C-alpha cells in the first residue's frame, strides 16, 4: 500500500468528527482491507437496552469507508446489506474488519464482519462502492 495514502487516511479518521463522536479508531489499513474498533457504551443503546443498530452500522461503515478508499481514489457507497446476528455485551470492545473480494475499474465489493472482544459475531455486511477514479481530495492538500 502507498504509505502516503495510508498515513493520510489514518490522520483523517483520527480527526473525523463522526469517528470522534463514536470513539472509532482505525487500527490497521492495507489495500482493500481495514480494521476499526469502538467501545460499546451505554449511550449507544436503543430503547430496549440493546446496542442501537445505527451505532453498529457506524462502525461497519467506517471499516467500509477506509477499506474502499485505501487505493488512494474516491470510492462512495452504492449499497450496504447488513445482517445483525447478536447483541454485544455492555462495555464490550467492537471490531469491524472489511475485506475487498472483488474490484473492477468502477466498482468494488466488500465483506465486513463485526465482532466483539470475545470473538462473537455481532453483524455481517456485504457492501458495494462506486469507484470514481479521482484521487482522494485530502491527498492533494497533504502534498502541498
What rounded mean pLDDT belongs to the chain? 96
At 108-134, the pLDDT tens digits run 999 999 999 999 999 999 999 999 999
Phi, psi of 45 (to 5 degrees): -85, 150
Domains of the chain, residue spans: 3-137
Does 144 score more than 80 pLDDT?
A: no
pLDDT for res 141: 64
Which residues lie below 8 Å from residue 77, measured CB to CB, with a gap of 6+?
61, 64, 65, 68, 127, 128, 129, 130
At 10-55, the pLDDT tens digits run 999 999 999 999 999 999 999 999 999 999 999 999 999 999 999 9
pLDDT for res 140: 76
Which one is the CATH code of 3-137: 3.10.129.10, 3.40.50.970, 3.40.50.10170, 3.30.160.70? Answer: 3.10.129.10
- Strand extents, DSSP E, 8-143: 25-30, 33-39, 73-84, 93-103, 107-116, 121-135
Amino acid at each position: 500500500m502507498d504509505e502516503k495514502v495510508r498515513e493520510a487516511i489514518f490522520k483523517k479518521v483520527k480527526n473525523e468528527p463522526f469517528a470522534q463522536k463514536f470513539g472509532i479508531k482505525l487500527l490497521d489499513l492495507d489495500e482493500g482491507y481495514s480494521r476499526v474498533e469502538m467501545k460499546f457504551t451505554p449511550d449507544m443503546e436503543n430503547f430496549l437496552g440493546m446496542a442501537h443498530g445505527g451505532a453498529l452500522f457506524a462502525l461497519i461503515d467506517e471499516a467500509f469507508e477506509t477499506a474502499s478508499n485505501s487505493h488512494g481514489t474516491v470510492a462512495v457507497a452504492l449499497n450496504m446489506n447488513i445482517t445483525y446476528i447478536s447483541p454485544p455485551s455492555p462495555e464490550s470492545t467492537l471490531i469491524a474488519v472489511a475485506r475487498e473480494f472483488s474490484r473492477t475499474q468502477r466498482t468494488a465489493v466488500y465483506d465486513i464482519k463485526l465482532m466483539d472482544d470475545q470473538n462473537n459475531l455481532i453483524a455481517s455486511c456485504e457492501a458495494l462502492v462506486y469507484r470514481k477514479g479521482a484521487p482522494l481530495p485530502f491527498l492533494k492538500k497533504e502534498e502541498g
